[in-house]
Structure 1
Amino acid sequence: MMANPSKRKGTSLETWTVRYLAWALQDTRIDRMPLHGNADQGDLIGVMFHGEPVCVECKDTKMPNYRKHWRELKVEMANMDTPYGVLIQHRKGVGVKSLKGMARQMAVFDIGTLERFLAIHMGHVLGPDYRIRRELANRLRGESRPVPSNPMLVWMPLELFALLLNDGLALGPDDGQD
């Protein structure tokens, strides 16, 4: 058992973020990232968006420091060589040790990064699912909320971020069991 309670909380959030995203996306490649020293590439591995890796940083801190954590994530995105990243911040009063609780955690982005994610859905890729993708992008943009005291950062529930990664398709197994 870990002696450091802060480390234990962080590890728990990482573990449950893996469980949630692996369940939601039905992707067993999602896992905790091995440590890379000063070339850190986030906390999770295997999260993908249209063939590109997504840098995921998980934070469970007593007092959220969104701006500092976002700067850390930007460095890790550069280390991973990806334009996509998300900060998963524990929401106070919302449990992390269930899929339902994890669905309600904060997925935080700067506005530019969120727009990069949404551009895939708003792009000029015409086809049978264009209207559905455009509607999803508009819904996610509309449901994102400003991060307190951080005008350049927005957040949405992790469930909506998983929906974005899954191109709007239903989350979880197809058999209807959770």
Structure 2
Amino acid sequence: MANPNKQKGTAWESLVRNFLNAYLDQVDDNGVFRDPFDGMNVRRPAQEGARDIGDVHAAPFILECKDVKNPAVPTWLRQARTEAVHAGFPYGVVVHKRRGLGVRAGRVHFDVRTWTRTRTALGLSTRVMWARYAFTVTVRGLDSGRWYLTTDVELFAALLSDLRAGVAREVR
């Protein structure tokens, strides 16, 4: 792989995949899948030509991983939504690397619709979802299509675990 930007991107995707698999207890202490055929394993799929299906599959999410200096989050979120549709997954989010920090500190960005659908699936009120997973909001102008909510990779892993477990929470 001669392209250094491609190498950085691939390394970031692998770090995210490995962290999520370890957090979700999908791998043993050596990083080997407990069950290689388990559909809940977090994977980096082979790309399928013009119909990109996302960088990392963490069912029910498609993760579009970005290791770049200058963020373009609204554009990336549109890309993640499209790739989720191509892959047949309900949710697409963006995982953006933060310079000089480990994978846990990476930023996971949700568009408003995906955040609301995830919150509803978890059975959480807005206030509880906001607090439990430490979301922040970015509002850019009056177009809500450019708004997004952000948490870190570690809290996203907790959210993913809760969603997969079908954890019903009290709505306040």
In the alignment, is residue 55 of structure 1 matched against residue 62 of structure 2?
yes
Matched residues in 1 for 2:139 and 2:70: separation? Answer: 12
Taking the TM superposition and a 5 Å limit, the aligned residue runs for 1:65-144 are 65-94=72-101, 101-122=102-123, 137-140=129-132, 143-144=134-135
In structure 2, runs of 5+ residues without a counterpart are 27-32, 34-40, 165-172
Q: Which residue is 1:152 aligned to?
A: 147
TM-score normalized with structure 1 length: 0.73
Percent identity for Structure 1 against Structure 2? 29
Q: Deviations over 1:147-177 (max 9, x none)?
A: 47475111101111110111189xxxxxxxx
Q: Which residue is 2:38 aligned to?
A: none
Specify the code of the residue in structure 2 equivalent to 1:87.
V
3-state SS of 2:109 partner: strand
3-state SS of 1:155 partner: strand
In structure 1, runs of 5+ residues without a counterpart are 95-100, 124-132, 170-178
Aligned length: 147
Q: Is the 8 A contact 1:136 1:164 kept in 2?
A: no
Structure of greater relative contact order (alpha carbons < 8 Å, 6+ residues apart): 1
Q: Which residue is 2:6 aligned to?
A: 7
Q: Deviations over 1:71-124 (max 9, x none)?
A: 111110111222212110011232xxxxxx21110010011101111112226x
Q: Is the 8 A contact 1:32 1:44 kept in 2?
A: yes
3-state SS of 2:65 partner: strand
TM-score normalized with structure 2 length: 0.75
Matched residues in 2 for 1:149 and 1:64: separation? Answer: 14
Specify the code of the residue in structure 2 equivalent to 1:153.
Y
The Cα RMSD (Å) is 2.5
In the alignment, is residue 20 of structure 1 matched against residue 19 of structure 2?
yes
Q: Which residue is 2:169 aligned to?
A: none
Q: Is the 8 A contact 1:60 1:89 kept in 2?
A: yes
